[in-house]
Amino acid sequence: MTTDPAASRDAWPGLAVVGIDHRTAPPALRDGLFLTDEDLDALQATLRERGLEQVVVLSTCDRLEFHVVAADVSTAATLAGAVIADLAAARGLDGAVRPVARFGATALDHLFRVACALESRVAGEPQILGQVKAADRRAREAGLMGAELDAVLSAAFAAAKRVRSETTIGERPTSMAAAALAVARDVHGDLSRISLLVLGGGELGEIMLDLLRGAGVRRARLADPYPSRATFLSRRLGLPLAPFETLADTLVDCDVVVAAAGTGRVLLGRSEMERVAQLRRRRPVLLLDFGVPPDADPGVDDVDGVYRYDIDDLERIALQGRAGREAELAAADAIVAQEIARFRAARSRRAAVPIIASLRRRFDAERHRALDEAGADAARATELMANRLLHLPQAHLRGLAAPDADPDAMRAAEDLLRALFGLDDGTPSA
């Protein structure tokens, strides 16, 4: 397990995020660690057996992460990393997985950004917030949610709500998909007669599938290069599977291809699409390439009869320029920073509650004790109370002022007392 070099433990000493995502692990490895609902139930039981009491497991096509809160967070992160390593070994991936561990401020920032869809391959995609909430619900049902972790996730959900309501970043995926739908109608007209292939299950691919179904598409299939993910997506999206091994033959019968695998390698090459175009005998193919990076070779643009649009093309059609997108991302980043600051301030205030309550109890106890002893003599009662409350502070201050004591400690104590009680600077009056 590797540790994020920028890790800081000052925001929440007991918080860690351990796992892999699309930036730290290749697609084949992420697919090998993909978890079904049944897998998640078993994994949560394992985490509980290992002694982790507060942990949320987030499993998507792009990430497997454990969000952990513990008193001994280093040990908890090591345990979480060991569970991932055991899972990898059981699936024949032993030694290939190097989960990243983030702590404190870095972990808090990462968790918020994940919930706000700022760590997704397509910023603003709508699925991730629902996936984080589903992971939260599973943790509660498994008895793995505590007050501290609940506070973090609730604050992250509040940040995500603000990002969606106060910026247009969440509209970006939908507007691009709407632009793609308009292109599909321009190319094929009546969409109820077309045949659709969904290649991979990325966020924009799912949005596009919903729009095309709403526009009348009835014949649709799914292909994916990774078997476990293909089976899961086929069941979740309600699409029959087309074998990836015979993708070239499947493409011949497809009028629209929605490519959203994002494997990092070319799945649709120029020569392959030239053959498809030739066999289709001038029937056009619309290739909507939502892969990040693209799933199709840019050379496909030169193939007659194949119309390829990638994310940049569709974003231009949707009239969302780069400057506007970057401004919205900056606004979303600012909201996340504000909500993290709000969360940390609230947590700091709560941390002071026990000592404040203890101080009040001590003052009340001494007040009642002084009144019991002095009776109706108010001056005597207040004198007794002041002497008793000042006794221990005076003794400690004399100790700090001793010749062999640390002078910095005395200055710090003086500064604290002046701030707490509104004292003057100690200069004798005229």
**Looking at 61, 180, 220, 273, which residue is catalytic?**
61
Domains along the sequence of the chain with CATH? 2-169+325-348 (3.30.460.30), 190-313 (3.40.50.720), 375-421 (no CATH)
- 292 Cβ contact list (under 8 Å, min separation 6): 121, 122, 202, 262, 311
Supply the pLDDT for residue 4. 60
Supply the pLDDT for residue 205. 87
Supply the pLDDT for residue 419. 79
8 A C-beta contact, residue 201 and residue 230? no
Supply the pLDDT for residue 204. 83
Supply the pLDDT for residue 430. 35
Mean pLDDT by 10 residues, the chain (430 residues): 55 84 87 87 94 95 93 93 92 84 95 94 85 96 94 95 90 81 92 94 86 93 89 89 92 94 88 93 91 89 93 77 69 94 83 71 79 79 79 81 82 81 58
Supply the pLDDT for residue 187. 93
d(CA 192, CA 38) in angstroms, rounded, equals 36
**61 part of the active site:** yes
The CB density around residue 343, as the number of other CB atoms within 10 Å, is 21
Supply the pLDDT for residue 12. 59
Supply the pLDDT for residue 291. 85
- 101 Cβ contact list (under 8 Å, min separation 6): 1, 2, 3, 4, 7, 16, 17, 18, 77, 80, 81
If DSSP codes are grouped into helix, strand and coil, which group holds residue 408? Answer: helix
Q: Which of 226, 221, 230, 224 is nearest to 252 (CA)?
A: 221
Q: Which of 198, 240, 262, 235 is nearest to 38 (CA)?
A: 235
| pTM for this predicted structure | 0.72
Q: What share of the chain is helix, strand, coil (3-state, %, to 5)?
A: 60, 15, 30
